[in-house]
């Protein structure tokens, strides 16, 4: 199993550009999440999904869109990038609602200039 994979590892965008961060997992996990990690602020939940076709907002959803058409994939879209979205983004998955452990991907470092 590859676990949770994320692409790209690094990305530089100009303000106003759009892009999609990819996340995939091969563990057949129902639950997937996106977090952003900023210095001095820990990780904050952006969006999450409890299964294919079902998504919900987390703590900091503004400026981001998600969809979940398959169990495996959970892409995060930045519609119009802003410098405040410069961050490291982590995707995570877990098998069930009552499963305590989340499995994290290696992260995508995004810089918006």
Partner 1 sequence: GNSVTQMEGPVTLSEEAFLTINCTYTATGYPSLFWYVQYPGEGLQLLLKATKADDKGSNKGFEATYRKETTSFHLEKGSVQVSDSAVYFCALSDRYTGFQKLVFGTGTRLLVSP
Residues that bind partner 1 (CB under 8 A): 4, 31, 33, 40-45, 48, 50, 58-59, 90, 92, 94, 97-102, 104-107
Give the single-character DSSP code of 63.
T
CB of 13 to partner 1, least distance (A): 21
With respect to partner 1, which residue has the nearer C-beta, 17 or 27?
27
CB of 23 to partner 1, least distance (A): 11
CB of 97 to partner 1, least distance (A): 6
Cα angle 72, 73, 77 (rounded to 5 degrees) comes to 170
Residue 30, C-beta contacts closer than 8 angstroms, at least 6 positions apart: 50, 51, 71, 94, 95, 96, 97
With respect to partner 1, which residue has the nearer C-beta, 69 or 99?
99
């Amino acid at each position: 199993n590859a676990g949770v994979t994320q692409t790209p590892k690094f990305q530089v965008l100009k303000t106003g550009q759009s892009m999609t961060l990819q996340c995939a997992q091969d563990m057949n996990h129902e639950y997937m999440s996106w977090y952003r990690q900023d210095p001095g602020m820990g990780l904050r939940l952006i969006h999450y999904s409890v299964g294919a076709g079902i998504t919900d907002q987390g703590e900091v959803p503004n400026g981001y869109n998600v969809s979940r058409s398959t169990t495996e994939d959970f892409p995060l879209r930045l519609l119009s990038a802003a410098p405040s979205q410069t961050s490291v983004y982590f995707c995570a998955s877990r098998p069930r609602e009552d499963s305590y452990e989340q499995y994290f991907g290696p992260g995508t470092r995004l810089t918006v200039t």
